[in-house]
């Protein structure tokens, strides 16, 4: 009996990415995928395109949108919904999540007349509360990894068909992407894929396996283009896969998820704990914990323990990135603050810009750059500052606010005018963590610290290599950094924030600045700080120095900073990091 494969491809480029990257992804991957499906009308699938990509295509390549709409129109492609700007749904307020899902549903309804019934989850980040949220958003199903269900304690063996889950009586269907398909498609030869599926043939029932993964694996990931499309663009892996699925010569055929669920509703209920795909949970671990994780993982990779180890040994949560990277946490909380204010003010353009800034890619770091890529961080700030500019354009005079914007139970200071905005951290020596020039939508202090990562110590998690007749996935290509190469690396112990004071025996020279050698940097909380007018004042310390720190607006475009040194060691140098 043939295996039914429920196909779903996820197309996405993040807010802030370069136009040339969008163009390359379209030329090397997205358009070839669409053209291959056009040539094989008997193969059905679901396509999820993020709103970030849809907006770029509408402005720059509407022909590709028209081609996809035509595939939807002839019933071959199911439009898969989700949160429009690709946020991590569990990391944004419920009202934002519902609006993001509504934007995607409305887009496809308006463009095709088809209302999506499923929702793609960004990075497959799941929490149990999503069952209720998605159900309330009129979502019928979502796609997770089979590993999500393993974490719920489901026994070994491949997980086929559909499951259901619920929260407070609100339920949705869950389709588990098969792990083996995920690493076979499109990286292994057709013979390897079919041999893998043939192991299921002894079962009397029809097997239904889900494959939901990134479209970029089909030609845009390193080393995959020629493998997937061939030298002539039409003789590669994807052509063979679609042709065999269509002509009946393969031990499998393809169907869209919604079509399957319409005829075969889920029968088995499961309660899924917080999860994402395995690699994401590993990347989220604090680097110091990775060696222990690797050791335990290795101990369970025996025939007797592997299944249990994969189910019960896992990494951290996506939210851990916000704890690991203060730059990410601050950016995230700034965006949420602006989103709330835009909603309260009823300013549609500001609200849209804030929702756009919720795009997840700049908030974390894994196989790809993420938070370390300045253009992605700038893309988020450009959008949130567009929202802020609209919210502050009628502000008559500069002001100072004290708010706990990041939920650490300590207040931050926000200085604002109609043109300039600054965020200070009294708990971190009153440092300046963000300085915005609103007319340019630009954060002047958008700098990332040099945090130590697990791959700096050679303890990074590795994955098995492909066989020689396939192509390696990027997970398999990933390598650590050679130990000798780390000799010149410097890692930061504090965030690289402006207006951080320091003392030193001598004025630091260029050679020592990289490691802040010999510098006693301020990091203790400001004492007795208070708002004064359109600024703030507090008592700080650095090494043996004691001083008063004062920051205030002089005009709507000028911030003045002053220090009154009250105590310092003889011959010591006092300085401020700009």
- Domain spans of the chain, in order of start: 3-281
- Please give the angle made by the CA atoms of 180, 40 and 225, to the nearest 5 degrees: 55
Report residue 421: phi and psi, to 5°. -140, 135
Quote the DSSP letter at residue 372.
G
* Contact of 330 with 337, CB cutoff 8 Å: no
Residuewise pLDDT in 10s, the chain (578 residues): 799 999 999 999 999 999 999 999 999 999 999 999 999 999 999 999 999 999 999 999 999 999 999 999 999 999 999 999 999 999 999 999 999 999 999 999 999 999 999 999 999 999 999 999 999 999 999 999 999 999 999 987 899 999 999 999 999 999 999 999 999 999 999 999 999 999 886 666 789 999 999 999 999 999 999 999 999 999 999 999 999 999 999 999 999 999 999 999 998 999 999 999 999 999 999 999 999 999 999 999 999 999 999 999 999 999 999 999 999 999 999 999 999 999 999 999 999 999 999 999 999 999 887 999 999 999 999 999 999 999 999 999 999 999 999 999 999 999 999 999 999 999 999 999 999 999 999 999 999 999 999 988 876 665 555 555 677 666 666 556 666 777 778 899 999 999 999 999 988 887 777 888 889 999 999 999 999 999 999 999 999 999 999 999 999 999 999 999 999 999 999 999 99
Q: Which residues are catalytic?
A: 123, 214
The tokens describing 422, both together, are: 């600054």
Report residue 10: phi and psi, to 5°. -110, 115
The whole-model pTM stands at 0.95
CATH annotation of 3-281: 3.20.110.20
Half-sphere exposure (CA, 13 Å, Cβ side) for 95?
9
Q: Which residue has the tokens 């005079």?
A: 397
């Amino acid at each position: 009996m043939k295996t039914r494969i429920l196909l779903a491809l996820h197309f996405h480029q993040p807010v802030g990415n370069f136009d040339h990257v969008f163009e390359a992804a379209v030329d090397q991957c997205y358009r070839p995928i669409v053209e291959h499906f056009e040539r094989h009308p008997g193969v059905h699938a679901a396509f999820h395109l993020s709103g970030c990509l849809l907006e770029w295509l509408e402005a720059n390549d509407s022909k590709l949108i028209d081609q996809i709409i035509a595939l939807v129109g002839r019933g071959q492609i199911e439009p898969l919904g989700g949160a429009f700007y690709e946020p991590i749904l569990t990391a944004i307020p419920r009202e934002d999540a519902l609006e993001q899902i509504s934007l995607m549903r409305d887009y496809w309804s308006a463009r095709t007349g088809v209302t999506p019934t499923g929702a793609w989850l960004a990075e497959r980040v799941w929490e149990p509360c999503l069952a209720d949220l998605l159900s309330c958003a009129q979502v019928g199903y979502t796609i997770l990894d089979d590993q999500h269900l393993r974490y719920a304690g489901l026994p070994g063996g491949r997980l086929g068909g559909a499951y259901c889950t619920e929260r407070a009586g609100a339920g949705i269907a869950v389709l588990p992407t098969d792990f083996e398909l995920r690493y076979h498609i499109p990286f292994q030869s057709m013979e390897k894929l079919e041999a893998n599926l043939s192991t299921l043939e002894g079962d009397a029932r029809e097997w239904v396996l889900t494959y939901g993964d990134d479209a970029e694996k089909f030609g845009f990931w390193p080393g995959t283009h020629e493998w997937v499309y061939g030298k002539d663009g039409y003789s590669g892996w994807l052509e063979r896969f679609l042709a065999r699925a269509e002509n009946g010569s393969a031990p499998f055929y393809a169907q869209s998820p919604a079509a399957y669920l319409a005829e075969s509703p889920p029968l088995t209920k499961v309660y899924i704990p917080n999860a994402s795909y395995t690699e994401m949970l590993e990347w989220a671990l604090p680097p110091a914990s990775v060696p222990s994780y690797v050791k335990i993982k290795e101990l369970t990779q025996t025939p007797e323990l592997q299944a249990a180890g994969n189910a019960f040994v896992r990494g951290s949560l996506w939210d851990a990135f916000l704890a690991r990277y203060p730059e990410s946490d601050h950016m995230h909380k700034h965006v949420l603050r602006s989103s709330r204010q835009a909603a309260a003010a009823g300013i549609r353009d500001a609200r849209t810009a804030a929702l756009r800034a919720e795009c997840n890619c700049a908030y974390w770091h894994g196989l790809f750059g993420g938070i370390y890529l300045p253009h992605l961080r700038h893309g988020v700030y450009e959008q949130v500052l567009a929202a802020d500019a609209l919210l502050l354009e009628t502000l008559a005079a500069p002001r100072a606010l004290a708010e706990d914007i990041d939920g650490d139970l300590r207040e931050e200071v926000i200085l604002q005018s109609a043109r300039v905005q600054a965020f200070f951290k009294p708990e971190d020596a009153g440092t300046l963590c963000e300085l915005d020039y609103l007319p340019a939508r630009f954060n002047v202090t958008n700098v990332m610290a040099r945090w130590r990562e697990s791959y700096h110590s050679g303890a990074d998690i590795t994955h098995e290599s492909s066989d020689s007749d396939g192509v390696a996935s990027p997970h398999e290509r990933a390598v650590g950094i050679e130990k000798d190469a780390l000799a010149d690396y410097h890692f930061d112990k504090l965030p690289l924030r402006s207006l951080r004071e320091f003392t030193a025996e001598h004025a630091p020279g260029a050679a020592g600045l990289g490691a802040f050698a010999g510098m006693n940097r301020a990091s203790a909380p400001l004492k007795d700080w208070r708002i004064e007018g359109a600024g703030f004042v507090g008592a700080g310390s650095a090494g043996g120095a004691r001083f008063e720190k004062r920051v205030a607006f002089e005009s709507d475009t000028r911030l003045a900073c002053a220090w009154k040194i009250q105590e310092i060691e003889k011959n010591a140098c006092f300085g401020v990091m700009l």
